[in-house]
Structure 1
């Protein structure tokens, strides 16, 4: 049966609509576009205001997060359920055999009763929790690199439950624009290291002794340096803060185990962990009468 022009036109229309759908789908899921549109949430890059804007579908309120300060987390939602499982016991069994002289011998094995067990199972809801937060930059990163708590420097801005497909697409879109949305960690870390070097050099320039110190300890915190030096004369000097001033702590010190604690004015207390070599060096000074605790 020959194909009519109407059938050809219908086939062409179907192919055209299919191609349009494919192109539209590709546009919606393309991660490098400046906006994201899902069934639950919309988001776009507001270059004029230099921020990410997020708006739940059906709402007029938008949530703004400045460029370079975004932290996001996607977690699959699960719940733990319990169910009772029955384990069947073993029935009693009797085994027989013919012994010497034709005698019948039998053995009976006692069975066991069945028992119930409570089993915990993890179930997936099919949803993912999407959390967007704004972080204080650079303080939050400084605290993280120093091993300090960063909870106070992180503020949750947006929380939503998304279906798995939409959550994956949204996360992919955020990661695609991470260079704009998230902090420049490499650049900020380089600046932080440079600042730490400046603090350390400032402390070392204020030393009273010459040559290598007997003991030198330091660590960096988000608000400055903690520095301790013991000179060959037995003097113990310490400094702290972002404008460190090295001062002699005098007798305001305590030595316990492998820790040396010094006290400065305004109730400032600093504790330093000493290595075995540091302890040995302090013991030498003590034997010479230059240092007492």
Structure 2
């Protein structure tokens, strides 16, 4: 089965984004991704959490400009608010202008890779810092949680350290679904690797590096008359400018190579409804995003092994 998702890029209009997400949800798409074109992506996803009921919400949150503890907390809270539909597109802006906002300078390639890897690792550790049964709500003793099931993560990286634990219980999915480009060089830490041109080779490499799922990123402009032009400058996505039938052929060709496709419509008001009509299906019941994607709920790294303490 090839999963279809929608990438919502470059729209500063919250109402337009909400309308687009509703179209994608009603069409049965697996999830939507957001960038920071207008409202900060995590805030936008939180706004949409209670305005949706089935579709996964995947904001782009940045490892290089966001405090890791806050990032992990924001995503865990989103997973609770959506009852298990949260995902995270790992962002890593490294330009002088982006990093100047927090008083940093651009990182070298190896330092950038280590920072991204460390942030993903500490987020995953923090999501596990509460065991699933840590909250006991014992009225008789007045105990809300079992402190022995809430853990410090004691993480030390090259540029930051985090003691933990998280300030929220473990997310409903156990681990929020983590997506990121294969170019980040942290594929082993992802749930879904996003690949662009040269799909076959990159998908094979991502699987070899440990990615459970691989999705292709595709810029899409539906043009049945040959009169529209896509002016986007993305350099790391496949591109389809043409008919619905042509896109169907492209997706059929990718089906044996990737597990899903993120479709990035050029115009939310024109292309997204066309994509929904052509490729949407009957929306299924409300489920966690992991269930939709066929990803297992991970075991907690801190869960006590009977008679043996913690691993």
Q: If the length of structure 1 is used for normalisation, what is the TM-score? A: 0.19
Q: If the length of structure 2 is used for normalisation, what is the TM-score? A: 0.18
Structure number with greater CO (CA < 8 Å, separation at least 6) is: 2
Please identify the structure whose Cα radius of gyration is greater. 1
Structure with a larger share of its residues in strand: 1
